[in-house]
Amino acid sequence: MAVSRDEVFAKVRDVLSDALGVDQEEVSLEATLQGDLGAESIDFLDIVFRLEKAFSIKIPKGELFPDEMLNNPEYVEGDRITPAGLEKLKQALPHADLTKLEAKPFVSKMPDLFTVRTIINYVESKLAA
């Protein structure tokens, strides 16, 4: 059964609104989970759990939010993401738009990758698989 992009957006909006305690109107496509919607690290786990339930998909650890990367010295040096790290992110997150991060490859900018649009792209790719 095909799920339309609008239906995916509606369900993702419900998930984020419930998990983060924000009004539906705030959940716009370009809103960042952390910066705009106030997500804490535990909220990312809550979001993964809710998405799995809402879409009946299985999200392996690190597939949507690659938190383990930050501990790897090959990918992160001090406050910067290395070229190897950017490459790894491109492979790991085909659903994310890395242009801004490539321009300013700071660890502190990584959370901005995770917008509502990123989540929708990810869910659609899982549903299509």
Partner 1 sequence: MRWIWIDTFVDFVSGRRASALKNVTLAEEYLHDHMPGHPVFPPTLMLEGMAQTAGILVGEARGFAENVILAKIRRAEINDYAFPGDQIRYDAVLDSLDDRAGVTSGTMHKNGKVVGRADMIFSHVRPGESSELPPHNFVFTEQFMRLLAAFRPRAATGSTDAG
Partner 2 sequence: MRFELIDRIVELASGERIVAVKAVSNAEEYLADHFAAFPVLPGVFMLETLVESGAWLVREAQDFANTVILLREAKNVVFKSFVRPGNLLRVEVACRRLAQGESDFEGVGYCNRDEVVKARFGLRHFCLADRDALLSSADSRLAAEARARLADLRRHPPAARE
Contact residues for partner 2, defined by CB under 8 A: 19-21, 38, 40, 42-43
- Residue whose CB is less far from partner 2, 2 or 42: 42
Residue choice 14, 26, 43, 97 for contact with partner 1 (CB under 8 A): 43
Task: Report the distance separating Cα 128 and Cα 114, nearest Å.
Answer: 21
Coil/strand/helix, residue 16: helix
Residue choice 8, 12, 19, 89 for contact with partner 1 (CB under 8 A): 19
Q: Are 11 and 47 in contact (CB under 8 A)?
A: no
Task: Specify the length of the chain in residues.
Answer: 129
> Which of partner 2, partner 1, none binds 26 (CB below 5-8 Å, type-dependent)?
none
